[in-house]
Structures are given as C-alpha cells and as structure tokens.
Amino acid sequence: MKPAFEKLFGFDSSKHSVRTEILAGLTTFLTMAYILAVNPGIFSALDMPGGAVFTATALAAIVGTLVMALFAKKPFGLAPGMGLNAFFVFTVCLGMGHSWQFALTAVFLEGLIFIILTITKVRSWLLNAIPGTLKKAIGAGIGLFIAFIGLQNAGIIVNNDATLVGLGNITSGPALLGIIGLFITAGLVMAKVRGGMLLGILATSVIGLFMKDPATGEAITKFSGVVSLPASIEPIFCKFEWSSILSWDMLAVVFTFLFIDMFDTMGTIIGVHQSAGIINKGNEEIPGLEKMFLADSIATVAGACFGTSTTTTYVESASGVGEGGRTGLTAFSTAVFFILALFFSPIFLAIPSAATAPALIIVGVLMMPSVKTIHWDDYSKAIPAFVTIIMMPLAYSISDGILLGVISYVLCHALSGQFKKISITMWVLAAIFICKYIFI
C-alpha cells in the first residue's frame, strides 16, 4: 500500500503518517465546508437553483482537490473562492447587468488563460520575482486574515457603523461557543494531542447542540437529516454565453477574475508553505509550483463547466498543514470528504461556523513565526512587509495585500536610493498594480 501511496501522493513512509495525513485532510475539509452552504446562498440572488449550485460547488472542489492530490501531490484543498463568488454575483451580474451565463463564460475563459500562463511558466516567474521579505510577510498576513475570518464567523468580531468593526456579544450564542471552542482547541494543541484541531471542531459542534442562538432561539448546532441525494446540475451545466466573448465588458471581467485569482492563489501557496516550513532554503523557491498552479487552473475550468464561480486554492488548507498534512494524501482525503458531503450534506452542514472558527484562529498563530526573520530594523524592508501584513485583514483581500506590498517595496527602495535591489520585474509589477488601482 505504501509504495502506491508514494507514487500517487508523494507520500514517504519514513517521514509521513497515513493517519496524520487523513486527519489533516478531514480538518481541511471541515474548515472549508462552509462554502457548501455559503455558495448557494450567494447565487440565490441570481435565481440560480440552490440544489444545483450546491452540487456544482462540491464537484468543483472534488475535481480541483483531486488534481492537486494526484498531479501536484500537495496538501491543498480547492473550492469556489470567497470574494470571487461575490464579484461574480454582485458586480458582474447585479452591478453590470450581465447574465450569470455571461459570468460563467468569463470564468471559463479565465481558467483557459491561466492554463496557458502556467504552461509557459509566467505565473511561476511572477511568484519567484517576489522578494523573500514580502514572501515572509505574506505568510504572516494570511495568518491574520484567516484568524480574522474565524473571529467573524463566530460573531466575536462584528460590523460597527462607527468604528467599522467591534466586539460582538461574547456572553452568549455563537460568539461564546467560539470562545469556548478556542480554549478547548488551544488546550488540545498545547498538549500536542494528535488531531487536536479536528477534535476541537467536533467537541465544539457537540457543545453547540446544547446552546441557543439568541437571534433565532434555536440550537447553534442543529441537524436537519442525515442522507440526501445530490441535486442535478443540468440547469447550470456548461451554460455559456459565447455571443459576448469579444465585448469590452468580457475583457474587463476576465482580466479582473484573472488578477484576483492569480494573486489570491499566489498568496495562499506562499503562506501555507511558509507555515509548513517547506520553502527551499536560500532561494525561497517553492517546489512543484507549476503543478499547483496547473491544478488550480484546471479546477477553474471544471468549475465553470459545472456552473459555479472561480475555483481556487483555499487558505483554510493551512488548518490541515497545521495538523501535519504534507502530501497529496491530505488533499485526496479532503476530496473524499467532499464526495461524502454530496450524500451526507445535512450532517456536514450541521457543523456551525462557530465550531470551525477556533481552528482558523489557531492556524493564524501557526503562520506568524515567519515575521521573526524579517529585518525590522531596515525600514526599506520593514515598511513593505508591514503594509503587506496589515492590509490583508483590513482590506479583506490577500491579493490587495500583495499588490500594495509590491508597490510599497519598490517605492521604499527607490526613495532610499537602493535602485539595484529593485528588479525589472518588480518595477513592471508595481507600475501595473498602480494602474490597476487608478483605472480598474
């Protein structure tokens, strides 16, 4: 069995444990599974059938994660991306007035372009052009970002019209459950219990059965059944609008999808590799980069055919890496759980976001050590690093954090007279990113 695992998933029996990889895959799935509930809700604004969107979301995750497992042999889960789905629905369709078929066509074209950029190694070239200082900052920034997501999901941090954000009601409901779960999970992790984050998620979910949500008066964790057959994707399968592919709107939408997806994926790959400590020392290169990018690109094309928005590599994969996942077996396990979710969706969707939030917060902690090696006494490096880190959670965007970090890196080095440390690629990227903010 193990030789087969080594060939299929890059599994090394002397370094890796099957049990650890499977637990890591389940942990990743549980922190990603919210997309199965969120996506149908977002697409309901377009009157797309919820059951079909649920199935399409799961299928996109399954295909993308399997390609990542078997081809790239990396421990990353893929699914339709948050933010990208909102851009699809609220900007392209509701804002610009286009049909969801138009938006699906844009996603499909974006995926094809990504495949070309990956095969020609343009994406890898762009990633390797990012200085080591920014790569370290990206890892920490993503740590803060996903911890912020966890705090929001639990209702610990909420919207405040006066101060943008504020502390929620932490004495009851999901916020209290999230805090309880955080200390349960923290205790398990500090005790070095194998699968501690997964056990924390499960324990918190069980506690949620006995706690009520003040907003609804119902239990926070609630079951609505056990088994259900997946709905057909026929109403949204391959529903493309080819008549508009040469329009300026299509060009703008494709470029925006391309831009956001590219830098979200770049940031996720850098950040999770930083947390796992598997970036090559010395040159800061990431092994197997082209294969990861190709898996991401293929998943986007497949997702568009199924009828959902851009599929991307999930930053929540860091939760599985935090549990020790290092090979494609972790991703394969995640894909298997997504397959099960198709038939046992009532059970999987019963796990509340307050129960997965503690895992995301702990993962944020695990991703912070990379800041130790940033030269904070050199302001030409420290300022761009800080901008990258702080803008990810505050702008609620991995890609904006990277873009602003690159711009500030070039400007700070130029202002300090360190022109030789700015590569031609960084000059070009900074110019493009500045134009992006001015004109897009």
The predicted model gives 113-139 an average pLDDT of 84
Listed range (164-178, 269-283, 294-308) with the worst mean pLDDT: 269-283
* pLDDT of amino acid 335: 96
Nearest CA to 372 out of 155, 64, 137, 193 is that of: 137
Helix, strand, or coil here: 190? helix
d(CA 118, CA 295): 10
Question: What is the mean pLDDT of the segment spanning 135-157?
Answer: 88
Of residues 350 and 421, the one with the higher pLDDT is 421
pLDDT at position 2: 58
pLDDT of residue 3: 67
Asked if residue 202 has pLDDT above 90, the reply is: no
Residue 32's SS3 state is helix
> For residue 413, what pLDDT is reported?
96
74-96 mean pLDDT? 86
For residues 37 and 34, what is the distance between their CA atoms, to the nearest angstrom? 5
pLDDT at residue 284, as a whole number: 56
Mean pLDDT of 110-114: 93
Confidence of residue 325 (pLDDT cuts 50, 70, 90): confident
Res. 126: pLDDT tops 70: yes
175 pLDDT more than 60: yes
Token pair 């599974």 is found at: 33
At 45 the pLDDT is 84
**Residue range 164-171: mean pLDDT, rounded:** 94
Report whether 198 contacts 27 (CB < 8 A). yes
Q: pLDDT above 70 covers what percent of the chain?
A: 95
Say what the pTM is: 0.77
Structure tokens at 194: 């194998």
Tokens of 275: 């947390």
On average, the pLDDT of the chain sits at: 87
pLDDT at 255 over 90: no
pLDDT tens-digit profile of 55-83? 999 999 999 999 999 998 999 999 998 77
* Cβ(29)–Cβ(338) below 8 Å: yes
- Mean pLDDT of the region 116-124: 85
Closest C-alpha to 181, from 197, 204, 198: 204
Centroid of chain to Cα 382: 26
Q: How far apart are CA 28 and CA 36, in angstroms?
A: 14
Q: Band of the pLDDT at 279, cuts 50, 70, 90?
A: low
Average the pLDDT over each of 23-27, 133-137, 164-168 and give the range with the smallest value: 133-137
How much of the chain, in percent, has pLDDT values that exceed 90? Answer: 43
Tell me the pLDDT tens digit for each residue of 220-231: 998 777 788 888
pLDDT band at 124 (very low <50, low <70, confident <90, very high): confident
- The per-residue pLDDT for 388 is 93
How many Å is the maximal CA-CA distance in the chain?
65
| Segment 385-404, tens digit of pLDDT | 999 999 989 988 877 888 89
Question: What's the pLDDT at 277?
Answer: 63
